[in-house]
Each structure stands twice: as C-alpha cells, then as structure tokens.
Structure 1
Amino acid sequence: MDLPDLENSLLRHVPPRWISVAERYLKRVPVLRERLEKETDAMLAGLEKDLKPYRDQVPTHTTLPAQGLPRAEVLRELGVMEAHEHARWQEGYVSGAVYHGDAEHIGFLNEVYARNSQSNPLHADLWPSATKFEAEVVAMTADMLGAAEANAGKAPREHVCGSLSSGGTESILLAMKTYRDQAREERGITQPEMVAPASAHPAFEKAAHYFGIRMIRVPVGPDYRADVDATRKALTRNTIVVIGSAPSFPHGVIDPIEALSELARERGIGFHTDACLGGFVLPWARRLGYPVPPFDFRLPGVTSMSADTHKFGYAAKGTSVVLYRGQALRSHQYFTSTEWSGGIYFSPGFAGSRPGALIAAAWASLLSTGEAGYLDATRRILATADVIKRGIRAIPELYVLGDPLFVIAFGARELDIYQVMERLGTKGWNLNGLHRPAAVHLCVTLRHTQPGVAERFLADLQEAVAHVRAHPSDKGTMAPVYGMAGTVPFRGVLSDLLKKYMDLIAKV
C-alpha cells in the first residue's frame, strides 16, 4: 500500500464532518491550493478536445451576425454536428440516453411538435389543447401505475392526480417541495427531513439543497436495496417523506417499496416512489410474468410517484409526470400570486411558460404506442437484458450487482473496472461509471434490441477484459478520474473538479 492509499484508508475512519473542516483549512494554504488547481486544470485540459470537437468543423459564433445567415447555411452547420453524433446512439452504443430512436417514431413526434410549436399551457384560453394533452397524459400514466385500484370508493378530490414537468429531476423537486410545504402548513414542521437510501437519485439531494430539507441517507443492503431497519431508525418527528426507487439508477434493483411505504404510512409520513426510470417498464414487465414487487399506488402507503414519459414512455426529451394521492396534496405544489399589479398569476410548477409542443408529443407517443406497443417493447428489452446478463456472468473476472431487470450494473474481480469501461470507450461504447462499489452499468433500451447489438457488446466486453488483464498499467484518460472520484476522502475537491468541468462545458 503506497502513501496515498494509506492516507485514504485512515481517513475513511474519520467522521465526514471532521474531514470537511480539515479540507476547508487545507484549501486555505496557498501552496496546497495552487497544487490542487494545477492538477485539476491539467486533468480537464485532456478532456477539452473531446468535449469541443466542432471547433475545426463549423464556425464558432460569439456575436450576432450583422445580417442573418441564410437558413440553408444554418442547416448545413446543424447537419455536420448531427452526422457526428447520430451513429453512436442509433447503433446502440449508449447506455440509456435514447430510449426509442426509430426513425419513423422520431419523424412522427417531430410532426406533432411542428403542429404545436407555438402552444403554451400558461395561456390556457388560447391553447386549451395543451391542457387537454397534459391532463390526459397524467391520467394515462396514473392508470398504468395503479390509480384505478387506489381510487376505488374515493371521492374525486382523493383520486390520484398530477402534473407534467420538464423531466425526472423537476418531478422530484416538485414532490419534495410539496411535502415541505404540506408539513409546514399542516404539521408545523420548520426543520424538515427526508429519508432516502444511499442509491437514491441526486435529484433528491438537489431538492434538499434548494428547499432547506435535511437529507438523511440510509445504507443499502448486500442486495443493493434500501435497508428497511436503517430507514426505521432514521425516522424522526421532523421526517416529511421517505424515498424508494423502482428501480434505482445505479444498480437497477427495486427497493422494498411495500415495507418502506408501510413505515411511512404508520407514522403519517409521505412516501415517494421514484419510478422515473421504471415507470413505463415495470407495469408491463409484471404483465409479462417477470417478478416485479409492488411499487405503485396499489400500495396504500405510496403517496406520490415520478415517472418519465421521455424515457421508456418514448416521448421527446423534456417531459415527466409527477403524481399525488389526491388533490389536497397536489395543491401544495401550486404557486399563486394575488397582489401583483399585472393581475392574478398562477402556475402548477416551477416554469411559467412551458413548451406545449413537448406536451403534445408526449400525448401522441402514449396514444400511438398503446398497451400492445409497450408490452412488445418491454418484452424485447427484457429479453435482450437477459442475454447481456448471462454473457456478463459467463466472464470469470466480472459479476452482476444484485438482481436487476434492465439496468445492469457489473463490477470486476482483480481488475480495474474503470479501465474496462475506458477500453470499451475506444470501441465506441458510452457507459455509466458507478461508485461504492466501483462498477459500470448499461441501461438496456430499444436501441440494444436491434439484431447483433447485444452480441457486439459482449464480444467487445470480453476483449476489453482481456486487454486490461494483459495491460494493467495502461490507465488511460478517464479511468484515473473515476478511480479518484470513488476514493478521494476530500469530497470538496471532487465538487470543485465537477464545477470546473461544468465551466469547461459552457466554454465557447
């Protein structure tokens, strides 16, 4: 064990708060601060060429042209960039990202968008079609996720309802803001807390950061599912909501939603199922006979859910659904202004104006796909995922984490899994690196169900493992970054690196 490894090993046993304090003091030392900045700048410099590949192919625009460019010229520039990016996702080299991708489906959604390009649900009197589309997308999604059973015998105001958002993160932010405001108004809680498994999406952490909610992370078990006993112990009088994932983004496993939601229900606490990734897969997987545990509104303790229409709902990017058990809860999401000199103002979510065309495209995608379409797509995705899981398990150096359905996380024995991921990158694959434990995942989509894609992935994976086994010192460019991110005890250093990375992305 070298000195850095020894330091990391010792620091793992130091309380995080002490490490944070020590880090703040160390960063004030000029020599150390300069060294950190130099090392992170050098690391990012190696990435700039990959992040900015068009500088030599199309003009760079930093000021408005004196005269507008001919539209044909603008389209030519777009075409250069589109051609560069199209092949990788079209041929199934990407984890998630593009969930349908069929040219005919894309063309259909583009036509729907074009017909509604000017619509805006903020002006419901001008575009009542936009509010019709939104209400129906919410209703169809709720029905798919157990609303009929939840609504049985209930007054209409108690029926499952919801809103559309711009994506899964906004759906989660809206739900957490809703619970915060409900707890403040109905229970007098001014120091709210949420309890979430360590595997819960960072959108919950973002919500905690934005809305002044203390986030309490509980561990996951050996199966990578949320620990129910740890969750029970984490509940306090200030807990406003408990979180579970169906499935979790990192490992693709479904948390014990039934047990977790009962913990919340017994104490009068809200429970949110994050089904952003699985909301449009799991209901159909259950219909196909796959072992899908209860996760939706059929469970009385589930009080809200998020499900992304722009993932496996196959809509265009920019829509998600957030659902609530009853209008009383949803009302805490709303914003109203009654004293403005410009008149009364109200909006259901964060945005005022919203792209009605995207809402229309989501509506069109759900209607044109239908139950039969979702069943067929899910059948193909899960069959492909089974092929990939068997192939990974057949490679002695690798293992699959947990028991996933379609998001397959895998780690390595006696190999650096990030070097394997980097080697796959040289063959065009774009996968997600995971931490704690070090792993990689592939989210299987319709792109991967094309003939030969799964077989190509497994062949390239076998070659990557053999290469890393034969060349263990070949660290590459990104493998050290992922390795550092997973082990460095000073998380502020990593946070600073990520902020610089975002600065680099925003650079012209």
Structure 2
Amino acid sequence: MKVQTGTRLDQAWTFVTNDKPDNWGQLQGVIFWILLATWTYSNIIVRSWRHVRAKGIVGTFRGMYKAVEGFAIKLILSLPSSKRKLNQEMGDLRTKFRKSIDPAHYPNGVKLRSGRELPKHGRSLEWLQEEWRGLKGIEKTDVDEGKVSGTVYHGGEDVNQVISEAMSQFLLANPLHSSVFPAIRKMESEIVSMCLSLFNHPDGAGTTTSGGTESILMAVKTYRDWAKATKGITHPEMIVPESAHAAFWKAAHYLGIKIHSIPVNKKSRKADVAWMGRAINPNTIMIVGSAPNFPDGAIDPIPALARLAKRHNIGLHVDSCLGSFIMPFLDRAGFGEEVEPFDFRNEGVTSMSCDIHKYAFCPKGASVIMYRSAELRRYQYFIMADWAGGLYPSPSMAGSRPGMILAGAWAVMNYIGTDGYTESCRQIVSAARHLKSAIQTRFASDLYVLGDPLASVVAFGSHKLSIYALADMMTERGWHLNALANPPAVHMAFTLPTSKTVDRLLDDLEYCVAQLKKEPKGSSGDMVALYGIGQTSVGPHVVEELAKTYIDVLYE
C-alpha cells in the first residue's frame, strides 16, 4: 500500500509502523499505565472496599490478624521439631482411631471375617445372613432407644416396611433413562409437586437430589450460571449468615465463588439483615437464609431477606433441609403463631431446599430443590449436545440415580399423608419445647438456651460449666448430642424416637450437671479433647489434620 507523504494518513501510518519509535514507546507506556491503573482499581481498590463493607473495619482487621496468625502457625508447624511432634501425635491418634474400629474392639465379642478381596467363588445366602447378624451386632448404638440427636429419622416399623416393599419393586430402576422407567419419572415429578405445594408454590419447579448438600450445590450452581447469563457476572459472590450450613462453603469451594460469612445477632442467633445488605455488591448472585439453621435451630427473618433480595434482583435461597416436614406443618400442629412466613409466600424467595429423608421419614438419599420458576431451574441442568455418546442431559449432579430411593420416598409420603405428618410434627416440636422450657427454668442457674428455637432443634451452653465436659458425661450415659462452636454449645435435634425420651434426657442432664459442679474436671472425653483443641490458636490447623487422618482410617 502506497501512502502519500505529508498527509494525515501518512503521519498515522508512520506512527503505527514504528517509524517514530519515541512516539510508539510513549503510547505503549501510556497504555501500560492505563491498564495497570484499571486493573488496580477493579481488582484491589474495589474488591478491598467491598470486602471492608461486608466485614466491617473490625471484622477486616480480625481477618487480617487471623491470616497473619495462621501463616505464623503454619510456619512453626513446618519446623522439623514441630513436625516430628505433630506426626507423633497424629500417629497416636491414628492408632486410637484404628482400635475403635478394629474387630478386637467390637462389642459383645462379635467376630467378623475379613473380606478385603473379591471371593473367588460366590458366597452362599446362609453365609451372608450370618455376616449380617454379626454386622448388626457391632453397632454400638441402639437407634430405637431414642438417645441420638438427629441422624436417625425413624418413622416407625410400619414405615420401614412400606419403604422395604416399595424399593423391592424398583430395584433396577434408573431415572436417567426415563423412557425405560416411566413409573419412576411419574413418582419423582409427584414428589417434587407435593413439596412445592407444601411450601406454598404449586406453580414452581424443582428436582430431586441425593441430599441436602447436593440440593444446596445445585442452587448455588444455578445462581452462578443465571447471574453470568443475565448480568454478565464472572466473579460471583454470595452472602450467608455464619449459621448457614457448611454445604454453602463446600459449594463456594467447588464452584469458584467468593463467600461472605456475616455474623448473626448474638442474642436471637438470626441472620443480621442490615449487615447482609451492606455486603451486597454488583458481583453478588445470591443471599441465604435458613428455616431453621442447623447449629441452634433459629429461623432467619425470611420476609426481610426476601425484600432485600427482590430490591437488589438477586437470588434468595431458603435452606429448609433440616426444617423438612416440620416447618410446613407448624401451623397445622398448633405452633405456627410465632413463626413468620418462611417459604414461597415471600415474593423474594427464589429457591428452597427440603430433605425428605429427614422428617418426611423417606429412605436416605432423598432431598428436593425447588425454584420459583421453571426458567430458573433450567440453569441447574447440565446439557452436552455434541458428546460422542450422543445427547447427554442431566438435571442434577448425578447421572445414574437409584430409582428405588424415589419409589420408597413416594410410597412413604403417600402412606403417611397430611394428618400423619401433622401428628409427628406435634410430637417432635412438643418435645423440643419441653426441653427448651426446662433448661430455662429447671437449669436456669447453670445452662442457657441459644436464641429462641421454635421447631425441632434446641441448643444450649453454659457460662459456668464446660459444656463439652457435660456432653462427654452424657455420652457415657448413652446420649449422642451434637457439639457446636462459636459459642461452645451442644444441641439436640429431636426426632420421633427422641421425642419419647425427653424426660429421661432431662433426668440424665440433671445428674451430669450435679456431678460436674462437684468435679469441674470430671471429664476428659473425646469432645473435650477435640473441641478444646479447636478453641486454641493452633486448633484449626491441628483439627483439620486430625479430621483428614480420621477419614483416612475409615478406608483402611
């Protein structure tokens, strides 16, 4: 291309073709500083400001202190002398864990044969039946005795019989292949519809999942993809109360989302709506509320959170996995007068999760994730249109799924019905409120209730006694309570079996409190050891390694 000299075009041409290196170098420098300033503003200044706004000045400095402290502790633990000591202690704990699951330590002298390799010849049914009897014999806890917090959501032997018969009819069913198993498709869609109706949005949409964690993972994935498609957000963030379930942190870790954890109101234990509102920024994709939360059973102010989400056009996920078939039946059971609307009656609620394998008494591995619209649900799907194996559509995390679980769930929900769930809600919540009232009166000088629990979970702590020592003493008497942190406490999640044993729980609690007041150091059990370490500076780092070691041992 020939360019006439002396023209503006000629001047521009010589500039960009580097005929004037000084000008080009100056332009490169200007571009570099502009890009650096833009990057600094967007990635450091703006993000730092948003972080300070979400955490507050005190919270920000506390986080910085913890980060520096954590770095120093890791540095100390990496020193050869510290490493040797830590490895020795972990080795001792590994040995202790092994002993706890070693056949020589099974209760009742039960002997089991090792089966670490596939047998050359198949075992007989009689051999299997003998092993089953032995395997049942090593269980250390009688779940029917009613001494376990949560964990065992037992609807009764008649319900178990219904589950067993329903599952036996659909052992080979797989919802991935709906054209092959249309009965499972029908049952699954009806399970979702029943839950949507219970949570006051029959025109909504949803899917089943394998449990609360998957339901939460799916909700977070949905909001991430929705925000990217509709708002162009590529650095997503979500805001949760610190009382939210750990599955939200797990989802953030898996899905590459920044999570802002906001302290709850210390007295009510509910989400601090104003603080959560301050944390919202242009990258926020969702906020979270619980009905109720797992640690202390508080029900977050869902109407206020819904208004906040609607005003900012972001998602609000209400985690009612633990609320399950308790929350929707509180009104019918006569306990609804103190509970604000917690479900889709609030326009700003855009999704909810409910574990039907909890208080709906369905077989384990059954939860429902619900959305306000089918359009929003579409962002949950995974679709691969050009796979060599053909079109691959999947509604949730799993590909193949056990259809027999869905068959069992569908059968139980139809078997129990509204009247049955209303009565179970009445029994369970009555027991929880009995415990709450007794702690506030009978144990008022020694224990206190966290917040104002209104459903099935009651948490309590103590300003005078070691609550973990108390829990260890209760463990010695056959009770299995859940340990909590921040503040130190324990909780009882009532189920149908435990609803019948609340008076025994209170009697044993009275005995243990009295003993602990006589001998303040009267327990050195596992809970004291584990959570005592957790309260120290080095605690989180050691406890994390301890947890990894424990999981390793489970698979040895």
Give the alignment's TM-score, normalised by structure 1: 0.92
Matched, 1:343 2:390: yes
Q: Quote the residue 1:161 is aligned against.
A: 205
Larger mean CA deviation between 52-61 and 362-371 belongs to 52-61
Q: Quote the residue 1:3 is aligned against.
A: none
After TM superposition, list the pairs within 5 Å mapping 1:169-180 onto structure 2.
Answer: 169-180=213-224
User: Which secondary structure does the structure 2 equivalent of 1:286 belong to?
Assistant: coil
Q: Quote the residue 1:403 is aligned against.
A: 452
Q: Give CA deviations for 1:432-483 in whole Å, capped at 9, x if unaligned.
A: 0000110000001101233xx1111111111111222222223323112122
Q: CA deviation at 1:44?
A: 4.5
Matched, 1:297 2:344: yes
Percentage of matched positions with identical amino acids:
40
After TM superposition, list the pairs within 5 Å mapping 1:132-143 onto structure 2.
Answer: 132-143=186-197
Change (3 A) 1:86 1:309: farther
Q: Quote the residue 2:42 is aligned against.
A: none
One-letter amino acid of the structure 1 residue matched with residue 466 of structure 2: D
Matched, 1:456 2:504: yes
Contact 1:242 1:261 in 2 (8 A): no
Matched, 1:88 2:117: no
Residue number among 77, 86, 95 corresponding to 1:27 in the alignment: 77
Residue number among 278, 283, 304 corresponding to 2:328 in the alignment: 283
Residue number among 184, 189, 194 corresponding to 2:233 in the alignment: 189
Q: Quote the residue 2:354 is aligned against.
A: 307
**Bigger Cα Rg:** 2
User: Which secondary structure does the structure 1 equivalent of 2:83 belong to?
Assistant: helix
Q: CA deviation at 1:20?
A: 2.8
User: Which secondary structure does the structure 1 equivalent of 2:370 belong to?
Assistant: strand
Contact 1:193 1:238 in 2 (8 A): yes
Contact 1:199 1:250 in 2 (8 A): yes
> Distance in 1 between the 2:98 and 2:518 partners?
29
Residue number among 27, 47, 66 corresponding to 1:16 in the alignment: 66
Q: Quote the residue 1:328 is aligned against.
A: 375
Q: Give CA deviations for 1:326-349 in whole Å, capped at 9, x if unaligned.
A: 111110110111111211111101
**Structure 2 unaligned residues grouped into runs of 5+:** 1-60
> Distance in 1 between the 2:276 and 2:101 partners?
41
Change (3 A) 1:224 1:41: farther
After TM superposition, list the pairs within 5 Å mapping 1:25-424 onto structure 2.
Answer: 25-52=75-102, 53-54=105-106, 57-85=111-139, 88-148=142-202, 159-221=203-265, 222-290=267-335, 291-393=338-440, 394-395=442-443, 396-405=445-454, 406-424=456-474
One-letter amino acid of the structure 1 residue matched with residue 452 of structure 2: D
Larger mean CA deviation between 36-45 and 174-183 belongs to 36-45
Q: Give CA deviations for 1:301-352 in whole Å, capped at 9, x if unaligned.
A: 0000000000001100000000011111110110111111211111101111
User: Which secondary structure does the structure 1 equivalent of 2:208 belong to?
Assistant: strand
> Distance in 2 between the 1:133 and 1:83 partners?
36
Contact 1:319 1:359 in 2 (8 A): yes
Change (3 A) 1:40 1:230: farther
> Distance in 2 between the 1:217 and 1:13 partners?
12
Contact 2:152 2:495 in 1 (8 A): yes
> Distance in 2 between the 1:229 and 1:99 partners?
36
Matched, 1:471 2:516: no
After TM superposition, list the pairs within 5 Å mapping 1:410-449 onto structure 2.
Answer: 410-449=460-499
> Distance in 2 between the 1:309 and 1:13 partners?
38
Change (3 A) 1:248 1:47: same
Give the alignment's TM-score, normalised by structure 2: 0.84
Q: CA deviation at 1:41?
A: 3.2
Contact 1:88 1:428 in 2 (8 A): no
User: Cα RMSD over matched residues?
Assistant: 1.8
> Distance in 2 between the 1:481 and 1:79 partners?
33
Contact 2:306 2:316 in 1 (8 A): yes
Q: CA deviation at 1:493?
A: 2.7
User: Which secondary structure does the structure 2 equivalent of 1:113 belong to?
Assistant: helix
User: Which secondary structure does the structure 1 equivalent of 2:460 belong to?
Assistant: strand
User: Which secondary structure does the structure 2 equivalent of 1:305 belong to?
Assistant: strand
> Distance in 2 between the 1:440 and 1:197 partners?
19
Q: Give CA deviations for 1:158-179 in whole Å, capped at 9, x if unaligned.
A: x311000000000000110111
Contact 1:12 1:489 in 2 (8 A): no
> Distance in 2 between the 1:44 and 1:461 partners?
32
One-letter amino acid of the structure 1 residue matched with residue 506 of structure 2: L
Contact 1:262 1:301 in 2 (8 A): yes
> Distance in 2 between the 1:126 and 1:86 partners?
42
Q: CA deviation at 1:14?
A: 6.0
> Distance in 2 between the 1:40 and 1:286 partners?
50
Change (3 A) 1:243 1:135: same
Q: Give CA deviations for 1:282-308 in whole Å, capped at 9, x if unaligned.
A: 111122332221110000000000000
Corresponding pairs, count: 485
Q: CA deviation at 1:375?
A: 0.5
Contact 1:335 1:346 in 2 (8 A): yes
Contact 1:436 1:486 in 2 (8 A): no
User: Which secondary structure does the structure 2 equivalent of 1:147 belong to?
Assistant: coil
Contact 1:197 1:227 in 2 (8 A): yes
